[in-house]
Structure 1
Amino acid sequence: MERDELGAWLRLLLTPGLGPVSVRRLLAAFGSPQAVLSQSAAALRQVVNARQAQALNGGDEAALDGWRELLVKSWDWLHAPDALEQRAIVALGEPGYPAALLHMEDPPLMLHLMGRLEGLHEGRLWTGPLAERRCLAVVGSRNPTPQGALNAQQFARSLGEAGLVIVSGLALGVDGAAHEGALSESDVHANPARAATVAVVGTGLDQVYPKRHAALARRIAAQGVIVSEYPLGTPPLSENFPRRNRLIAALSCATLVVEAAPQSGSLITARLALELGKEVLAIPGSIHNPQSRGCHALIRQGAKLVESAQDVLEELPAWAGVAAAAASMPNRDDASETTEATETPEAMDEALDPSEPHERLLAALGADPVSLDALQARTGWPTAQLQAKLMALELNGEVARLPGGLLQRLLRA
């Protein structure tokens, strides 16, 4: 995009009182931002109201100063000599604009991108590894249980191995775990055409939110793509995040919800995916976990219940080829088998070799969160002995401590 064209787009988008619907009407009528800005007030009033036409035809000086400052900032960002990643700004209708977003009622008028953008200007970015049919949204709670975070990471890693691109929102919790899982299987040198993950964010690309994900964002920019519809300098405003969810849903062929409370923003993404005719899948969880209730509600409403990465692939006919390649993936452990063997110490002794105390303790933990008192009743071990074994399992990443003094076994997906 040339500087003059970028300036015209920014001038149009920053005009006070002019929303996306009005901008699209103007573009449909006159063809380009430059053409819109060259129209007389009388011509503009044929498309928008008098106040909007006046703002476009002249506007107050403060608004014009803001547009000029943003143009300088955006141009400098695009051509920063010390940038470690590729950067681009693409407008609606340009070759690098993702075709999947054109099916939305309100596609973004402009996108900022940074990361692995090879082929963007030839229109190949969104027809290759980042095409809609190869992308899966993985979303969920910002405050997942340890098991939920582990599920997100392991599903993303396994699906990444199958060749899918993981799309999420860079938020805390499930989003971050999904990005991490996808990145863990990315090999830039072995497969330079593949982007591991796409992060759709609700701020300008000159900042990272949450700040603790700054290192993760750098890794995504090195091995994937970060996308925003917001101009540089846009802070993390609460209203922007539900809007960015529609882009996550639109860029993906399906949406996988890992954990979600009943009012979770992840359910917004799932609803938007359904409205776009996309598949919605959900991972079930414990009936005692509030973070599972959103997933259970989705399943009751018709979302596909999945327990393994292979389940995800088999639900999407367009991915039959990669599903076959992933057929050897291990399934998620069947928690119900161990749960049935944990009612009493005697029952566990019959099912498990008592010479393997760690296995016996894992069986006693089961799949649901459990208190120390209940665990002691199940095992019959003294408190000191039980605590020592739990610490060993914690250090090995097999057990996590939850708020309220509860413990939970971390099951491998």
Structure 2
Amino acid sequence: MLLEKQKNWLRLALTPGMQFESFYGLLKAFGLPEAIFSQSLSSLMTVLPQSVALSLRRPPSLQTDEQIERILHFLSSVPNARLLVPSDEDFPKKFLMVPQPPLVTLAVGKVALLNKTTVSLVGSSHPSAQGEEIAKSWAGSLVRKNVALVEGDGEGIEKTTLKAAIKSNAQSLIIVSKNIATDSNFFEKSLFMSERGLLLSPIEMQNDPWPSRQRLLLAGVEHFVVIEASARSKVLSLMREAADINRNILAVPGSIYSPLSKGTNRLIREGAKLVESVDDILSEIAN
């Protein structure tokens, strides 16, 4: 992507007050960023609140300019780093099949991995020893199959799965990371993943990186496997969102006496597929 186009996408994404819905609305109404920036204030206000429309018409602030330059420097410094946007010819078809597709994503590595069947092991941020053992074992097996393993970089099941996949020398690993501005280890992760798989990170003007990170997971993952989850786990709300967009939800059953089985057992009652092995996962994927 040409430098000027990169700047336009970044400037749009980092406009103060810009929310996903407004950004998406602008793209649907006017097309690419260069066309958006040429619109009159009155035209922009048919999609945006007045305050955001005014911000878009003004030159970027010093802070926004610094953010843009930092990201552009990153793109020029890290091998296989790029912006992934809807106008790209290789924009993943999976991303186009969800109601809220990622709009500006920092990608490092092999974007083509998103064309594979994608699976994610998710669950409690404070798993039991048994839950961790399941995650390690299944991650080590799945990375040897013809699927791409997609993981967030949160605590618990996610971190255990990532470590096991990396230890197994996975070549089809996709990491969905926090925003470049909120992750102190982002540069090191990017260098590590540039030749080993794919790192994805959302670029949005958000104080809370959680929603945009979750949106990336929902867009990129076809099959979620919940290993452990309590009755109040954040994973349950993510799985309900995933089910709403026809993602396949699989869950590991557990003892009725275990708090970490309350969530997975509930998901199974609500229609998630019961799985007890990697073979079960692969069978469900095939079906």
1:100 is displaced (CA, Å) by 1.0
* Residue 294, structure 1, aligned to residue 268, structure 2: no
Supply the AA of the counterpart residue of 2:74.
Answer: W
> Counterparts of 2:25 and 2:221 in 1: how far apart (Å)?
27
The residue number in structure 1 matching 2:92 is: 98
Match of 2:203 among 225, 230, 245: 230
TM-score normalized by structure 2? 0.88
SS in structure 1 opposite 2:106?
strand
Superposed CA offset, 1:24-54 (max 9, x none):
2322333211121122324434444444333
Match of 1:176 among 143, 152, 159: 159
- 1:195-206 alignment runs, 5 A limit: 195-204=171-180
SS in structure 1 opposite 2:114?
coil
Superposed CA offset, 1:187-235 (max 9, x none):
6xxxxxxx321111222178356x9xx9877654542211111359x8x
Q: Percent identity?
A: 29
User: Structure 1 242/36 Cα, relative in aligned 2: closer, same or farther at 3 Å?
Assistant: closer
Range 37-46 or range 273-282, more displaced:
37-46
How many corresponding residue pairs? 287
SS in structure 2 opposite 1:107?
coil
User: Structure 1 113/295 Cα, relative in aligned 2: closer, same or farther at 3 Å?
Assistant: same
> Counterparts of 1:23 and 1:306 in 2: how far apart (Å)?
39
> Counterparts of 1:265 and 1:221 in 2: how far apart (Å)?
30
Q: Higher Cα Rg: structure 1 or 2?
A: 1
> Counterparts of 2:47 and 2:238 in 1: how far apart (Å)?
33
SS in structure 2 opposite 1:227?
strand
TM-score normalized by structure 1? 0.63
The residue number in structure 1 matching 2:76 is: 79
- 1:270-309 alignment runs, 5 A limit: 270-309=239-278
User: Structure 1 109/165 Cα, relative in aligned 2: closer, same or farther at 3 Å?
Assistant: same
The residue number in structure 2 matching 1:150 is: 133
1:102 is displaced (CA, Å) by 1.5
User: Structure 1 45/298 Cα, relative in aligned 2: closer, same or farther at 3 Å?
Assistant: closer
Using CA pairs under 8 Å that are at least 6 residues apart, name the structure with larger relative contact order, 1 or 2.
Answer: 2
1:67 is displaced (CA, Å) by 2.2
> Counterparts of 2:13 and 2:212 in 1: how far apart (Å)?
17
For the aligned residue pairs, the C-alpha RMSD in angstroms reads 2.6
The residue number in structure 1 matching 2:63 is: 66
1:98 is displaced (CA, Å) by 2.1
In structure 1, runs of 5+ residues without a counterpart are 188-194, 319-413
- 1:3-402 alignment runs, 5 A limit: 3-58=3-58, 63-80=60-77, 83=78, 85-114=79-108, 116-117=109-110, 120=111, 125=112, 129-131=113-115, 134-186=117-169, 195-204=171-180, 207-208=183-184, 219-230=192-203, 239-317=208-286
The residue number in structure 2 matching 1:367 is: none
In structure 2, runs of 5+ residues without a counterpart are none
- 8 Å contact kept, 1:12–1:33: yes
- 8 Å contact kept, 1:196–1:224: yes
> Counterparts of 1:241 and 1:10 in 2: how far apart (Å)?
19
